Amino acid sequence: MSTTEHETARTRPGYPRARRDDTVDHLHGVAVPDPYRWLEDSEEPDTAAWVEEQRALGREFLDGLEWKRVFTEQLRRVWSLRACHTALMQGGRYFYFHNDGHQEQDALYVMEAPDGEPRLLLDPTLYANDDGHATISYATASPDGRLLAYSLSYGGSDWQEWRVRDVDTGTDLPDRLYRSKFSAAGWNAQSTGFYYTCYDHDGSDADHASWEPDRDPKVAFHQVGTSQDQDEIVYHDSDHPEQGITVLTSEDGTFLILFVWRGEEATTAILVKDLRVPDSPVVGLLPDFDAAYSYVAGDGPVMWFQTDADAPMGRIVATDARRPGEIREIVPESEHAVQGAGLVGGKLYVVYLVDAASRIHVFTPDGDPLGEVELPGHGTVEGLRSQPGETEVFYSFTGFTRPTTVYKLDTTDDSSTVFFEPTYTFDPEDFTVRQVTYTSADGTEVPMWVCHRRDLDPDRQHPAFLAAYGGFGFAITPSFAPGPIAWMEMGGVYALANVRGGGEYGEEWHRAGSGRDKARAVDDLVGAAEWLIGQGLTSPEQLGIGGMSNGGMLVAALLTRRPDLCACVIPVNGVLDLLRFDRFTIGWSWRFEYGSPADPEDFAALHALSPLHRVEPGTKYPATMLCTATRDDRVVPAHSFKFAAALQHAQAGPAPVLLRVDRESGHGRDARAEEGLDDLSDRWAFAAHVLGMELPRP
């Protein structure tokens, strides 16, 4: 494609008209116009009509790209590989999710032995309701392996419907539980019932219309075979309606463990209930919200936790329910961040992040070091959960060019054997993966993964795509995804920057890019783009940047701060209005990450960063495709609607600003393989088109 043809192809279309009204908020003495406030009401006829016009415009543009066909075919080929997720043994049975490469979604299988014949237990594609197709949100077998508690979410929503399946017959019992969200299930020791989290409302369309905040959760116990209105409420804190509760039970079913979290700090409180004692109260085990805690394992009243209490890089501690508030250090803090841990076969397996990649170290239950589990390279480990008395456990390993492989670990000698190996539709040796560091604006060294085809010409610039997340203390580590592989096969460079705000280097790394310092994460992303350009790998005209959710906020903030730095930006389900994020669904729980708009100092930082409020009319912005979903009840679509309207109104250059709206998915969840492929092919085709990637020759 010639330069003239390329520029003509990028010319922006005509946009649907979005009215601008005179809505103004006065916050801490500052007048803040919000002319597109009406787009927050998804049931408003003008909103629905405007969204439909945007959808039609986006489809016309994207379906006219030759790259759309190319990436659809390329992604379909990569997507077709067999996949498996970490297996778990429960009640002598082995449960795991598997996809043969042609199934719409991963299905749940069960085996009676590790080398037994797999039996299909649960296929989510068989379920749908008026809200759309179903996905499995959570599934856990009872201690005796006889029953499966599982929840379905419809149309991409986070709301869950709980059911119970008989594992022997593969049929559902009559049980149906509603009004649940962000909930796991914890079985009692007798395998007769389970605990879960519920609300008084159920996320119906009426709730979605106003995107009311999710408040006042309760913990209930459901006795299998009874109706939900008979469930016992075992915990409810009406004094703190803005809190979340994660539920689980210890491996032997003797203790109910509640993780309570609130929106102001990245901390949790641990509450427990002794299930061996009838009518025992819920008491505080670690009740002070002084640090973050996650469960490792339990043996009766003794429980192991991963925590950042007095240890920003993380450590492993033990507690005793008979002595609330006391902790005993098992594995002290080291120079590497703790990613997770499991207690199996009388050994404690701790997963560390070493330069944003997983390593497994082995200890005794009292913390004495025993060595390390050998891994096949740089990648991400998940799993390592089983009954403490078992001698085998499963874990998965994945990397940028390595689809997930599942290993069975023999805890007697810490040797690993392959339980499941994926099929490959490409050769991993055709690619190179390296980790580099670059210097951010304040002198901080930031790591970044750079991946491309091994035969890439080092003496010329290439289309490059830079991704980042940088939020909530989540570590974004090497993992396989079809999109980056397809992009690299077409000759592109793929980079992932581990910017501050994530958890790659512990809680201090997170705090350095959160709250009033959130702009540092954007500084780091700018630094990553400048490094790629400075190294000659790409140019501003050939650089695309994308991110999802919090990452969508970062890339949109970069767009408004440095529109000259790249040619393409793709924010997906982004948090783009940082002055009203806490008014919708679960947004109140993000205040620890972004700050509170009600606080004057937090407001000043948020107002200076908020992508929606940094859009300046008359600016030449890069080509942008905002992606959202009408059923996203986590980061509500109003964020993307308002930002798209503002950016289209402000755009002074020729580059298009598109709004891609999916009507039947949620926050990154899609029950339909074809529609998920369509979503990904749209994003990569848009980037390839804008960045001038060379089409493959027939």
Amino acid at 407: Y
Cβ neighbours of 4 (radius 10 Å): 8
3-state helix/strand/coil string of 173-229: EEEEEEEEECCCCEECCCCCEEEEEECCCCCCHHHHHHCCCCCCCEEEEEECCCCHH
What is the DSSP secondary structure assignment for residue 696, as one 8-state letter?
Answer: P
Contact 406, 98 (CB under 8 A): no
Angle (CA) 281 287 293, round 5°: 115
Q: Distances from the Cα of 682 to the Cαs of 462, 574, 625, 670, 688, in angstroms? A: 20, 17, 9, 15, 10
Q: How far apart are CA 223 and CA 366, in angstroms?
A: 37
Q: Which of 468, 435, 459 is nearest to 566 (CA)?
A: 468
Contact 325, 338 (CB under 8 A): no
Q: Which of 121, 271, 307 is nearest to 195 (CA)?
A: 271
Amino acid at 79: W
3-state helix/strand/coil string of 521-564: HHHHHHHHHHHHHHCCCCCHHHEEEEEECHHHHHHHHHHHHCCC
Is position 98 annotated as part of the catalytic site?
no
Is position 667 annotated as part of the catalytic site?
yes
Question: One of 549, 589, 610, 681 is an active-site residue; which one?
Answer: 549
Contact 679, 667 (CB under 8 A): no
Contact 691, 567 (CB under 8 A): yes
Contact 549, 574 (CB under 8 A): yes
Query: Residue 448 forms beta bridges with which residues?
Result: 436, 497
Instruction: Give the pair of three-digit tokens for residue 617.
Output: 């009319």
**What is the 3-state composition of the chain as percent helix, strand, coil, each rounded to the nearest 5?**
25, 35, 40
Question: One of 665, 667, 681, 689 is an active-site residue; which one?
Answer: 667
3-state helix/strand/coil string of 611-624: HHHHCCCCECCCEE
Q: How far apart are CA 83 and CA 136, in angstroms?
A: 16
Contact 551, 570 (CB under 8 A): no
Instruction: Give the pair of three-digit tokens for residue 55.
Output: 């959808």
Q: Which of 523, 521, 559, 522 is nearest to 540 (CA)?
A: 559
Q: Which of 303, 225, 193 is nearest to 258 (CA)?
A: 303
Amino acid at 241: P
Cβ neighbours of 60 (radius 10 Å): 11
Catalytic positions are 549, 667
